[in-house]
Amino acid sequence: MSSTPPIAEDRAPEGDHRPSQLRQLAAASVGNTVEWYDWYAYSFLAVYFADQVFPKGAGNSLVPLLSSFAVFAVGFFMRPVGGLLMGAVADRRGRRAALTLTILLMGGGSLLVALTPTYAATGVLAPIVLVVARLVQGLSVGGEFAASTTFLVESAGPGRRGLFSSFQYVSTTLGQLLASGTGALLAALLTAHQMGQWGWRIAFLVGALLSLLGLWIRSGARETLPQAPDADPAARPAATERPADRPGLFEGLRRYPRQSLLICGITAGGTLAYYTWTTYLPTYAQVNAGFDKGEALTVGTLSLVFFALIQPLGGLLSDRIGRKPLLLTFALGFAVLAVPLLHLVTDSFASLLLVQCAGLVLLTGYTSIAAAVNAEVFPARVRAAGIGFPYSLTVALFGGTAPYVGTWFKQAGHAGLFPWYVAGLCLVSFFVYLALPETARRPLDG
């Protein structure tokens, strides 16, 4: 039996004057946590500020809330644009420049939400300001994945790309938990009237301040793109690219169409399973099994903590045995088990916790290494933009619509079809994973 080939040596920080790998990991992770805190704070607090920003429809008190969620969706579909634009910045000016820009945009968007005037005071200007803020945040969060993915994987030391990759979803989950925790704390400390009048603004001000912390941490990070203007001169290639030689906005799509389609196939099943199990499952349990709303949120929180803790284990495992075994286990597991797992959801606390945690273990086969797998598809020259646009577009089409599709099936009287929809899309991704080459032990294309 042949021995396992040695893991390829990736570029790693050298010398005493460069930031440590821990600083690199913190720069990506802390910033990403702040990004997702700001993003999720909107959805958790919409119920409080909707009446302040949107006028009520005649006889329908749900109009403000529906309007606020429509603005949330607008921000979601700005993410592909952000993935393309911020990815291009990362490929032309460097990963650190893009990471600085994304966190500034997210912090600015959060501050703008906090300062949004009321409809009673300014009329239609209030929802306009909120829409602009959400567009800015959509651009930011779309670009964040592209930039932080490339930065994390390029910062990893030898045989550690999977481990570093796992912190993409560790930090995303921490941001989600921080947002829900902040909302819950404010609701516990303030009255409902205070929350509706001004309390909700505090969470967004906190987000803007946290963005400054993320900006400070990222300012000391090491640039990982050798061609970037502020890269270490010792790491630059002998013939540094001239500005005219830098990649164009659509170069990744134009020169690497197969790789762009691969990103879509890699992502489709994973993003649907992710948003189903981390975001929609508590609502699914309420709608289809009559589960208590408060207990559903408790189960969701406990499951997310468990999910964050097991991500590094998946990343480490992929560095030892490769990416494909984890991807295939995830996709085949969901293709076979999504339907029976969702049918096991009852109004029992234990059943929902078991179903959610079981699904999250399988999902870790995708989430813990998604950043590494995506980064290993494209060369460094177009890596960020090449990942950013097809990834964010696929997330918007399949992940962001998961709650809507699940609810639509229920309203149409075919609630049992939604689990089959999840299983079917994961099966599509399974065949994509079968065709992927194993990249764990290949040197990262610089």
Tens-place pLDDT, residues 54-77: 877 645 555 565 566 666 667 777
CA dihedral of 428, 430, 436, 442, whole degrees rounded to 10 = 140
Say how far apart CA 328 and CA 433 lie, in whole Å. Answer: 6
Count of beta carbons in the 10 Å neighbourhood of residue 188 = 7
Domains of the chain, each with CATH number or no CATH = 21-220 (1.20.1250.20), 256-438 (1.20.1250.20)
Give 75's contacts (C-beta < 8 A, 6+ positions apart).
39, 42, 134, 135, 137, 138, 141
Diameter over CA atoms, the chain = 76
pLDDT given for residue 231 in this prediction: 63
Burial class (CB in 10 A: 0-12, 13-18, 19+), 296: buried
334: helix, strand or coil? helix
Burial class (CB in 10 A: 0-12, 13-18, 19+), 234: exposed
Say how far apart CA 373 and CA 385 lie, in whole Å. Answer: 15
Tokens of 346: 């009852």
Residues of the chain with pLDDT under 70: 1-19, 57-73, 228, 230-245, 446
377: helix, strand or coil? coil
Comparing C-alpha atoms, which of 40, 334, 311, 374 is closest to residue 169? Answer: 311
pLDDT given for residue 68 in this prediction: 63
Per-position b or e across 3-31, b if 16+ CB within 10 A of its CB: eeeebeebbebeeeeeeebebbbbbbbbb
pLDDT given for residue 7 in this prediction: 44
Contact by Cβ (8 Å): 119, 84: no
Say how far apart CA 202 and CA 169 lie, in whole Å. Answer: 26
Q: Please state the pTM of the whole predicted model.
A: 0.83
pLDDT given for residue 23 in this prediction: 83
Please give the distance of CA 163 from its chain centroid, rounded to a whole number: 17
pLDDT given for residue 64 in this prediction: 64
Positive or negative torsion for Cα 240, 245, 250, 255: negative
